[in-house]
Amino acid sequence: MSRELALKAKLTGLLLAAALLLPLSSWGETPELTIAIKNHRFDPTEIRAPAGKKFKLVIDNRDPTPEEFESHDLQREKVVAGNSKATLWVGPLKPGTYSFVGEYHEATAKGTLIVK
C-alpha cells in the first residue's frame, strides 16, 4: 500500500470514529425545564422546549397541598405532593403548542408548552 493511500485510510478511520462518538458527547446536554406551582397556579404559565429533543420537566409544587400535573397533549399525568418536586421525561416532540393543567385546580392552574 502506498504511503498516500495508507494516510487516507487512517484519516478515513479517524473521521468515522469521530462521527460515531459525536452523539455520545451530546448525551449530557438534555434540556431541563422547571415550572413551579404557587397559589394553585403555574409559574411560569408558558415554557419553551426545543423540537425533536427529549427533555426533563421538573414540577416544583410550592403549595402545601398536592396537585396533579396533567396534559392530554403530552399524554402525561403526575401527582406532585405538597412542598415537593416531581420529574417527567418528555419528548422528543414536534413543533407546536401543548397545554397542561393542574387537575385539582383547573380553574387557576393552566399552562402552555411551546415547542420550536
| DSSP H stretches of helix in the chain | 3-25
* Number of independent structural domains in the chain: 2
Predicted confidence pLDDT, tens digits, the chain (116 residues): 677 766 666 766 655 555 555 554 445 578 999 999 999 999 999 999 999 999 999 999 999 999 999 999 999 999 999 999 999 999 999 999 999 999 999 999 999 999 99
Q: In angstroms, how far is CA 50 from the centroid of its own chain?
A: 8
Residue length of the chain: 116
Please state the pTM of the whole predicted model.
0.74
Q: Are residues 72 and 107 in the same domain?
A: yes
Q: Are residues 74 and 48 in the same domain?
A: yes
Q: Are residues 16 and 68 in the same domain?
A: no
Q: 10 Å Cβ neighbour count for 108?
A: 11
What's the domain range around 13? 1-29
Which amino acid would we find at residue 93? L
Q: Are residues 13 and 52 in the same domain?
A: no
Q: Are residues 24 and 74 in the same domain?
A: no
